[in-house]
Amino acid sequence: MNRLCLSVAFLVLLGTLGVSALEVTNHKSKTNVPSQASHPSYCLAPPPIHMQTRYYYNPSAKLCLPFTYCQSAEYKNNFLTKDECVKTCADV
């Protein structure tokens, strides 16, 4: 894997951890948490290390966020459009 992909993966991981840390306080104050049973388990997976813009669902932020696709591995938390991501994983 080239350095660009590793750099992108590292930045995405740092961003995900930052969003997760910010959302912990907000998430703890919510009492109504929707059931995760109606969503595929891969919606809870971390962002993939893959070079084209795609979207993954971040359950901590409850948002579909972009990432740079740069590797050809099968990864299900990986959507071509933000709309497809939201339809599949929103409200996890």
Question: Where do the domains of the chain lie, and which CATH numbers do they carry?
Answer: 3-27+44-89 (4.10.410.10)
Cβ atoms of 51 and 69 closer than 8 Å: yes
Please compute the mean of the pLDDT values over residues 74-80 and round it to a whole number: 80
pLDDT top residue among 24 and 14:
14
Q: What is the pLDDT of residue 54?
A: 86
Q: What is the pTM of this model?
A: 0.38
Q: What is the pLDDT of residue 3?
A: 57
pLDDT top residue among 5 and 65:
65
Does residue 77 register a pLDDT over 60? yes
- How far apart CA 1 and CA 52 sit, in angstroms, is 15
CA distances 52 to 27, 57, 78, 81, 91, Å, are 31, 16, 11, 12, 26
